Chain A
């Protein structure tokens, strides 16, 4: 069974920068995994932020960016705002985009 692992929690100061990562149990994450990233606040449905590793949706704030970093997918938040405090999930696609697997999630605290 494929497992996608994220940091359980990260803390960042307002205005700071934090990078979340997304690792696959099958090996290095490449662009072929078409990583998606989502933000979820308590009591709300997830909101899409990033697709195809680096692409932003029209509503994604500029301070969010996606990349590949050291064999993992990564989401970087620059100039963090208090409203960025949330859970973040990655989604990787396996089998040439046929099967999705979500990551374990990262709780970001802005303090």
Chain B
């Protein structure tokens, strides 16, 4: 059974750096084709893709936020960390991590698949 859970501060001040941790179980981030993504959702607004880290440590970032984001993994601890610098009130959102994969059990490429999500953590940016 795959589970993910986000943790981190519930509030940060403008200009500070946000660090969020995703702790997962039920899969290994050393398995080919597997990744962990971060997605956010401002209150009452749509989902926004932030970043993705693959099993081979390859990383992908949203172009609009790339300069502010860093994603890393610790495979031995089953953890993925997202840092976002220079936080602003518009970054107030619920932040989710999610399980990603792109191969089926036969090794067939299926494109990007997001199936399991964490419960999300609300981060408020305010002075």
B82 to chain A, nearest CB (A): 15
C-alpha spacing A101/B63, complex, angstroms = 10
A25 interfacial contact with B, CB 8 Å = no
Question: Which of A12-20, A43-51, A74-82 touches B?
Answer: A43-51
Contact residues in B for A102 (Cβ distance below 8 Å): 39, 46-49
**Contact digits for B77-111, partner A, Cβ 8 Å, 1 yes 0 no:** 00000000000000000001000001000000011
Contacts A34-B111, A51-B110, A93-B111 given; does A100 touch B49 at CB 8 Å: yes
Contact residues in A for B110 (Cβ distance below 8 Å): 34, 51-52, 55
Contact at B117–A46, with CB atoms within 8 Å? yes
Chain B binding surface, main DSSP class: strand
Contacts A89-B46, A97-B102 given; does A36 touch B114 at CB 8 Å: yes
- Specify which of B48, B52, B116 is in contact with A48 (CB 8 Å cutoff): B116
A85 to chain B, nearest CB (A): 17
Contact at B111–A52, with CB atoms within 8 Å? yes
Contact residues in B for A23 (Cβ distance below 8 Å): none
A111 interfacial contact with B, CB 8 Å = no
B8 interfacial contact with A, CB 8 Å = no
Q: Please report the total number of B residues contacting A with Cβ < 8 Å.
A: 24
B126 interfacial contact with A, CB 8 Å = no
Within 8 A of B (CB), among A43-90: 45-48, 51-52, 55, 57, 89
A interface residues, Cβ below 8 angstroms from B = 1, 32-34, 36, 38, 40, 45-48, 51-52, 55, 57, 89, 91, 93, 97-105
21 residue pairs from A and B, CB less than 8 Å apart: A33-B111, A34-B113, A36-B112, A45-B117, A45-B120, A46-B96, A51-B110, A51-B114, A55-B110, A93-B112, A97-B111, A98-B60, A99-B60, A100-B37, A100-B49, A100-B112, A100-B114, A102-B39, A102-B47, A102-B48, A105-B46
Given contacts A45-B120, A46-B47, list 16 more A-B pairs with CB under 8 A.
A1-B64, A36-B113, A38-B47, A46-B117, A48-B114, A48-B116, A51-B114, A89-B47, A91-B47, A91-B49, A91-B112, A97-B111, A98-B60, A100-B112, A100-B114, A105-B47
